[in-house]
Amino acid sequence: MATTTAAPGRPAPGRPTTKLGSAALEVDERLIVAGPVRRTLNKVFPDHWSFLLGEIALYSFVVLLLSGTYLTFFFDASMKEVTYGGDYAPLRGVEMSAAFESTLGLAFDVRGGLLIRQMHHWAALLFVASICVHLLRIFFTGAFRKPRETNWFIGVGLLVLALLEGFAGYTLPDDLLSGTGLRIFSAVFLSIPVIGTWIYFTIFGGDFPGELIIGRLYILHVLVIPAILLALIAVHLLILVKQKHTQFPGAGRTEHNVVGNRLFPTFAGKATALFFIVFGLCAGLGGLVQINPIWLFGPYNPAQVSSGSQPDWYIGFLDGSARLFPPWEIVMWGYHITPVFWATVAIPGLMFTALALYPVIERKLTGDTASHHLLQRPRDVPVRTSLGAMALSFYIVLWISGGNDVIADKFDISLNAMTWFGRIGMIVIPPIVYALTYRLCLGLERHDREVLEHGIETGVIRRLPSGEFIEVHQPLGPVDEHGHGQLAYGGASVPKKMNQVGGARRAVKGFFKPIEEPAAVQAEARRETRGLEAARESRELTGSGRPTEGGRPAEGGRPSEGGRPQQEPRD
Amino acid sequence: MTTTDHRPGSAGGTDEPGPLHGGPDDDYSPERLAAMDATELDRLGARYDGVEVLHVDPAPAPGSRLEKQASRQVTLWFFLAGVFALAFLVVYVGSGWFLPTWRWRIDGSLWSDLYTPLVGLTMGLSLISVGIGLVLFVKKLLPHETAVQDKHDGSHFDRVTTAATLNGALTNSGLTRRKAMTRTLGFMGAAFGAMLIAPLGGMLKNPNTGNPLGTTLWADGVRIVRDDGTPIRPGDQEPGSLATVFPAVPGGHFSADSPLMLIRLRPEQMAEVQPRAGQEDFGYGDYVAYSKICTHAGCPVSLYEQETSRILCPCHQSQFDVTQGAKPIFGPATRSLPQLPIAVDDEGYFVARGDFPEPIGPSFWNIGRVS
């Protein structure tokens, strides 16, 4: 590009003077990358914590790929019967599958193998969890609206694949816990009307459990699903880069720009840091917090089960749904549709279909076909927020019911009462949550409007000549003759404390003792062009941010008004 | 806006840029760029990418207390990351060498218990220290920029010109006129796609050959044995007890559909027994035998509460009453646990009198038509 086209050998301005510069020139003369690299480095990313949730999912996926590859060096995905003869004495002489034996080997015969296995498991839990929280952020802020529906569909696809991937991986060790889970899944396949028995026999290669399922799940887990995940993640990110990020409304932010940090160095530094922290968290958890101790469960045996068996958290809602669904079996001419079908195929199918189609549904209902790049605050879209809260509460009732036996045991509640709580709760709680959330949104909206109209509560109480006490309010902007603010609500967070509008300086830096001059901070606060400080340069502030003498905070801004309170007291 | 600074190749052109060459290189000569400092060049490139830097909070001044303190902190965290990584290596490599072994021992050893937590802790702390160091570096030692980048919703020009190129190709191909060819392409695509996925048909198994869903290993005269293979006589079990038993045939212990519960009822329970119609003689004395596989989702039902005669499945909490032919009385199960007809053979041991009269385990579509 511009600086690299000078021919070597000819004295020309801009010729590299350092070795590194010459090397860069050599590279760019061949690959012509300076332009794309500069465009990438200059890309602006909005700065908000909630935008990191998707990144956490991405980084835990990287941890999963790394740790999972390590595990494949030792794992033997075979259901061949072997007799254990390894280090773990309590299981010596026990017949088990080669898959279970090699998983034991990872814990007992491979140096550090247990750490990597547990890290892999924790990263998987974190992967699904961060996808879910990321999805909630996208949903509640309206980031799925046009033009981002495609990425929403891909995201829902990624979530479903992540669940399948997690289930497949969880089943591989062929231990008692996962074997029980697999058997329940076999009942799920079997329950599908008309073709259920065919699906069941095809998946297991015969009757449950057969000798093929672990090998088949293994190739799904290490090749097929990860490849699709990887491809979809790539498309997800490419679309994201192409469409650029959404951003919350705020000063200078429009539908046609992105305000934030450039990729390099700020965003890249923070993102790399987050990767290391996610990786470190998984490693720490993998070492310190035991997970899925399969040597305590033992190998799978169709005649055994332990009470209090719990799947990984993200499968819990299916378990809950299966527990709660009443014993309604539809029988027509000798053909059966079982409760397992409704609970574990129909209900989740509807849940995920509704989730995937939500952008389309909302477009149809609102008639809003415009492109949106500014996010909405959940309170400003009460119907969507309440629908989301309602769906979430339904999910949570199912999820809690997936562990209702553990809750019944720990809190000494009747198990049947827990089941009835779930059965009634899954119908009654969501509408209640809808109504509550709706009211909550309206209340928050009204409070925003009120602050815009009447100002921020200052905590300054004045006594009027009549003897009445009023609290002085600080208007956020110009006011009309009645003292009412004229600012319109712009979709951004409304400051509700004096400190947020410059009622107090920023804190002086230093942990044990100040490392900067308090006077310098004060001077900086005066120079600050934002907030109310600018208009009040001459006024002294005490440490608490309140005016030293009984002046009203609004006074400084509007000296012509004299001592008259600028607004009516609020009752 | 891109520069096409390729040299004409062997086609006989001169060694000069083509007419489309240009862009910023024409506007900004090397001399002009050389006169700009690094910040100006950075901002120039940024503007070229639609980015404007609005505001910069400068980094702390070099040599100031603030800068010294921040750089001390960052250095400390990076140093700690190295120390923890080294600690990881010492524990990882040293165990079994100059430290006690990491291997599991039945008599327990403190070091092998601590090994995995220690390697996890040191690795985790090392990685997190790198992360904290980087965060502090970005937050405390780099200038804080606020930049704004333009966003484009797509261009009408691009749409029209791209559509023209595509339409041109479609028109030239003549596919819109050559109907027979278009239809053949459709046919070819469908048949070709079917051919590609057809080999997956090798996975198909017919669930209806040989009635695998309706039969188990139990048959007339098959002895009922315990986990360890020993046969059972009436009187071996206490009243009120439940034993998980298996068919005495090869593979009987690991068969997924044959586990059986042999239950000896208490006298009080005997008074309440209401067998299912047609299965009144399936028991033997005060013994009854039910399939252990839950009719809901196939878990082994395991928890027997003899006071209430209930068997609970721990997976989804279906409850079955053993005195009423193992009828489901709570939870999601819809069918009774199938009962196995039992008897005692010449040597006085329990045997089956045949297979279950109905399929065991979860219901399926045509369960009513399988026996």
Question: What average pLDDT does range A393-399 have in this prediction?
Answer: 97
Res. B15 pLDDT band, cuts 50 70 90: low
> What's the CA gap between A462 and A324, in Å, rounded?
59
On average, the pLDDT of chain A sits at 88
Comparison of pLDDT for B225 and B15, the residue scoring more: B225
Q: In this complex, do B34 and A119 lie within 8 Å of one another by their Cβ atoms? A: no
> What's the CA gap between A327 and B109, in Å, rounded?
51
Q: What is the pLDDT of residue A199?
A: 95
> What structural domains does chain A harbor?
2-42 (no CATH), 55-248+267-346 (1.20.810.10)
The alpha-carbon gap from B345 to the nearest alpha carbon of chain A, in Å, equals: 25
A414 in reach of chain B (CB within 8 A): no
Residue from the list A196, A283, A304 with its beta carbon closest to the beta carbon of B364: A196
> What's the CA gap between B293 and B309, in Å, rounded?
17
Please report which helix (H) or strand (E) contains residue A462, including its range.
strand A456-463
Residue from the list A257, A337, A416 with its beta carbon closest to the beta carbon of B150: A257
* Residue from B123, B215, B291, B336 whose CB has the most chain A CBs within 10 Å, to mutate: B123
Q: In this complex, do A327 and B95 lie within 8 Å of one another by their Cβ atoms? A: no
List chain B domain ranges: 65-149, 156-195, 220-369
Instruction: Write out chain A residues lying below 8 Å of B120, CB-based.
Output: 115, 118-119, 283-288
Is the model's pLDDT at A320 over the cut of 90? yes
Question: What average pLDDT does range B103-127 have in this prediction?
Answer: 92
CA A361 to chain CA mean position, Å: 23
Q: Determine the 3-state secondary structure of B284 from DSSP.
A: strand
Is the model's pLDDT at A338 over the cut of 90? yes
The alpha-carbon gap from B212 to the nearest alpha carbon of chain A, in Å, equals: 7
Q: What is the pLDDT of residue A528?
A: 62
Q: What is the pLDDT of residue A531?
A: 45
Question: What average pLDDT does range A242-271 have in this prediction?
Answer: 92
Q: What is the pLDDT of residue B371?
A: 65
> What's the CA gap between A376 and A378, in Å, rounded?
6
Question: Which of A359-373, A473-487, B160-174, B334-348 bottoms out in mean pLDDT, i.e. has the lowest?
Answer: A473-487
Tokens of B161: 């010109």
> What's the CA gap between B330 and A122, in Å, rounded?
36
Is the model's pLDDT at A452 over the cut of 80? yes
Please, which contacts does B59-66 make with residues 24 or more away whose CB atoms are closer than 8 Å? B59/B141, B59/B142, B59/B143, B60/B140, B60/B141, B65/A515, B65/A516, B66/A509, B66/A515, B66/A516, B66/B140
Res. A126 pLDDT band, cuts 50 70 90: very high
Is the model's pLDDT at B120 over the cut of 80? yes
Question: What average pLDDT does range A409-438 have in this prediction?
Answer: 96
Neighbours of A360 (CB within 10 A): 12
Q: What is the pLDDT of residue A342?
A: 95
- Is residue A85 within 8 A of residue A91, CB to CB? The reply is no
Is the model's pLDDT at A67 over the cut of 70? yes
Instruction: Write out chain B residues lying below 8 Å of A274, CB-based.
Output: 131
User: In chain B, how long is the greatest CA-to-CA distance?
Assistant: 110
List, for residues B185-226, the tens digit of each pLDDT value. Answer: 999 999 999 999 999 999 999 998 888 999 999 999 999 999
Instruction: Write out chain A residues lying below 8 Å of B255, CB-based.
Output: 302
The alpha-carbon gap from A537 to the nearest alpha carbon of chain B, in Å, equals: 21
Question: What average pLDDT does range A239-243 have in this prediction?
Answer: 93
On average, the pLDDT of chain B sits at 90
Tokens of B370: 């399988």
Q: What is the pLDDT of residue B30?
A: 86
- Is residue A456 within 8 A of residue A411, CB to CB? The reply is no
A11 in reach of chain B (CB within 8 A): no
Q: What is the pLDDT of residue A563?
A: 40
Instruction: Write out chain B residues lying below 8 Å of A286, CB-based.
Output: 120, 124
Q: What is the pLDDT of residue B370?
A: 80
Torsion angle in degrees (nearest 10) through CA of A165, A168, A170, A176? 160
Res. A103 pLDDT band, cuts 50 70 90: very high
- Is residue A208 within 8 A of residue A186, CB to CB? The reply is yes
Question: What average pLDDT does range A364-372 have in this prediction?
Answer: 94
Question: In chain A, which among 431-490 make CB contacts under 8 A with chain B?
Answer: none
| CATH class of domain segment(s) B220-369 | mainly beta
The alpha-carbon gap from A323 to the nearest alpha carbon of chain B, in Å, equals: 5
For residue B6, give Cα distances in angstroms to A29, A425, B18, B45.
11, 70, 8, 22
Handedness of CA B112, B113, B117, B118 (dihedral sign): negative
List, for residues B309-322, the tens digit of each pLDDT value. Answer: 999 999 999 999 99
Q: In this complex, do B138 and A255 lie within 8 Å of one another by their Cβ atoms? A: no
Give the residue on B whose Cα is nearest the Cα of A190.
B364
Res. B29 pLDDT band, cuts 50 70 90: confident
Comparison of pLDDT for A208 and A73, the residue scoring more: A73
Q: What is the pLDDT of residue B20?
A: 67
A114 in reach of chain B (CB within 8 A): yes
Is the model's pLDDT at B228 over the cut of 70? yes
At how many degrees (to 10) do helices A316-324 and A382-401 cross?
A: 80
List, for residues B267-309, the tens digit of each pLDDT value. Answer: 999 988 999 999 999 999 999 999 999 999 999 998 899 889 9
Q: Determine the 3-state secondary structure of A175 from DSSP.
A: strand
Res. B22 pLDDT band, cuts 50 70 90: low
Give the residue on A whose Cα is nearest the Cα of B209.
A206
Nearest Cα neighbor of A316 from A196, A166, A139, A432 is A166
The alpha-carbon gap from A174 to the nearest alpha carbon of chain B, in Å, equals: 14
Q: What is the pLDDT of residue B62?
A: 92
ipTM over the 0.90 cut-off? yes
Instruction: Write out chain B residues lying below 8 Å of A416, CB-based.
Output: 317, 330
CA A561 to chain CA mean position, Å: 50
